[in-house]
Amino acid sequence: MRIGVNLLNLQQDRYGGVEQYVVHLISRILKIDNRVELFLFLTKPSRDLFPDYQERLKKIMIKEYNIHKVIYPLIAQCQLDLWFSPLHRSYLPDIPVPSITTIHDVLHTAYPQFVPGDFQENNSYYEQFASSFDAVLTVSEFSRNAIAKNIGIPKVKIHAIYPDAPLAFQYFSRYNQRERIKKKYALEEGYAIYPASYNPHKNHISLLKALVSLRDNYNKRLKLVLTGYASKENRVHQSVLNFLKEHKLETQVNVLGYVPPEDMPSLYANALCLVFPSLYEGFGIPLVEAMKTQCPIVCSNRGSIPEVVGDAGLQFNPEDPEDIALKMLDMLDPRTRENFIKKGNMRSKRFSWENCAKETLNVFKQVVKRNEK
């Protein structure tokens, strides 16, 4: 099977969830089926995400200004059986072979104010292409239901397939560098961690209000570590820094910025807990990352989060800072932490790139076979 992978819109987002999904899925598909050939359609900025010399993987480099002119002859030239678009809003019209896309979430349907363009503008984009999708992949049953309800794609066409944490988390116990990481980032014992991009739905300010409540109402000065890349122009990041200054939290909260992927497992393992106050997730990879490093979870009860975490997390209302504060306070009890570590360890076994790749390939094969008839 010859599969074209549309990565023309891929941006290196400092190992955000979508980039992790693409890189790990492509690598594992090649390993589990030696009859598959992948043709990665790329622009120059994302070239180095993939190896230059790998059996059954070929990079097709496209100049950004020339995409629509050259893409269709190249699809014919490569004799593709399938066109796969794993990125948001990367679709092309009139693809001459069966087409599958991944829609990770539909944030715009729940929080249109957090997404460029209004609700109708975003929905119209999906509606324009929906009929051309032979199948849609997504990352949770929550997202599957939301896509079917809000975009009008028949539910039978949508397949929920869980991703996994990055490979650094699979081999964590073998490469334990907890003390080195603690020194590198000058971290004290006993902190909570929140790894997230600085987007409005990540809900940083409610978490910081919970820290203020813990300090002022319960005499608990819980340390917090924030990770995640942000440009200087990012308004959410600026609002976080301003809040820290206004509420005298600057010595209590470490804003680390971008952290290399290989350092992240030890940051989790050293933490008292992951606190995850997001208002909306299509999946929520940090939840699985925490489970795989024995970091207990305190989390929002919104979006896909309850589905992913199951009984392995202590859930709160993310719009209620007092509820966040009380649940974090509960997690400071060593017995509570140990209980959730055990539950997280068990639940983490549900997630693997091997299963993700196998289930994805099954959908690919079903679509190709159906179109051969």
Instruction: Give 3-state DSSP helix, strand, coil % of the chain, rounded to 5.
Output: 50, 15, 35
pLDDT tens readout for residues 117-176: 878 888 888 989 999 999 999 999 999 999 999 998 999 999 999 999 998 888 776 556
Q: How confident is the model at residue 372 (pLDDT cuts 50, 70, 90)?
A: confident
Where are the CATH 3.40.50.2000 domain residues in the chain? 2-164+352-372, 167-350
Question: Which pairs count as long-range contacts for 12-17, CB under 8 Å and 24+ apart, including other chains?
Answer: 12/45, 12/46, 12/49, 13/197, 13/229, 14/229, 14/258, 15/166, 15/261, 16/197, 17/104, 17/163, 17/283, 17/285
pLDDT tens readout for residues 21-46: 898 999 999 999 999 999 999 887 77
DSSP 8-state secondary structure symbol assigned to residue 118: -
- Burial of 45: CB neighbours in 10 Å, binned 0-12, 13-18, 19+: exposed
Contact at 8 Å (CB) between 80 and 39? yes
Of 39-48, 241-250, 294-303, which range is least confident?
39-48
The highest-level CATH class for domain 167-350 is alpha beta
Contact at 8 Å (CB) between 41 and 117? no
Task: Tell me the whole-structure pTM to 2 decimals.
Answer: 0.93
Q: Give whole-number Cα distances, 122 to 84, 125, 159, 247, 298, in Å.
A: 21, 5, 22, 37, 32
Q: How confident is the model at residue 329 (pLDDT cuts 50, 70, 90)?
A: very high
Contact at 8 Å (CB) between 75 and 83? yes
DSSP, collapsed to helix, strand or coil, labels residue 158 as strand
pLDDT reported for residue 176: 63
The highest-level CATH class for domain 2-164+352-372 is alpha beta
d(CA 14, CA 20): 10
- Burial of 155: CB neighbours in 10 Å, binned 0-12, 13-18, 19+: exposed
pLDDT tens readout for residues 46-60: 777 787 767 899 999
d(CA 212, CA 222): 9
Average pLDDT in the chain: 92
pLDDT reported for residue 54: 78
d(CA 167, CA 351): 12
- Burial of 120: CB neighbours in 10 Å, binned 0-12, 13-18, 19+: exposed
